[in-house]
Amino acid sequence: MKHIYLNLKRFDVPVEFGGVNRLAPIPEWAAHIVTRTQEGLKQYDPARVEFVQFFPEAHLLQAVAARTDDSPVQIGSQGIYRDNTAPGGNFGAFTTNRPASIVRALGCEAVLIGHCEERGDKKGILAEAGVTDAAAVNRLLNKEVKCAVSAGLNVVYCIGETQEEQPQWEAVLGEQLSVGLADVDRSRVVIAYEPVWSIGPGKTPADKDYITKIARFVKEQTGGMDVVYGGGLKADNAAMLASIAEIDGGLIALTRFQGEIGFYPEEYLEIVRLYLETSGK
């Protein structure tokens, strides 16, 4: 099974407010993306590839409502809280937080957990409290994964090493896997590898040999779990990533990196085509 994930981050922010949204007004943004992509994705065999689109929470209802009955698009949430509602227990005291139960109730099938931006946020909060234990972030994420799986959500669990951590990448990634997935039903989890050290303007992207090395390591550590490339599936690396047998898909975010940068549905469909045609799907 191949997995193509679309993480729309905060691409809903209009240009006049410092964002990259040139697609549609906020009340129509999610529906615009779903309706402009779902027909083009129907040509692919759902038994061989799945498509999940992760939206900021404000857009989840709109995205779910825009799907047709035969849509291949699954809708995902960009994270959940580490505790959940429960019959006879906490029924809603989660001000500012997003329990897995509401994500399911909104119509989502999946959740993104451990993205490098989430890891960085948790690390920063813990540092303010004087916590320097590197495993603390992984323990918090483990709670999130457990809540998601218990609620019936599929999980994309992100791992990755920073530039400072790269010399110890085996230990760093190994801990993210062992702690983050401890006592988890892994049948509902796909691993996304983010080479944090290579992501961003002016940085050298991870090459095929490095990505292959990491993907093999992850499969060895997890007993063969599916691994997707989270460093950005793009038009210019789609063929390379498709040629790596150990890689089972990828995360797409921005589709245009020059000029009017941002996410564009037609360019997303082209990236999907380039990747899946090369991988034989």
CB 148 within 8 A of CB 155: yes
The catalytic position among 50, 118, 161, 194 is 194
The catalytic position among 115, 118, 144, 161 is 115
Q: How far is CA 246 from the centre of its chain?
A: 18
Helix (H, G, I), strand (E, B) or coil at 230: coil
Helix (H, G, I), strand (E, B) or coil at 125: helix
Active site residue 194: yes
Active site residue 3: no
Distance (Å, whole) CA 240 – CA 266: 21
Supply the residues annotated as catalytic: 115, 194
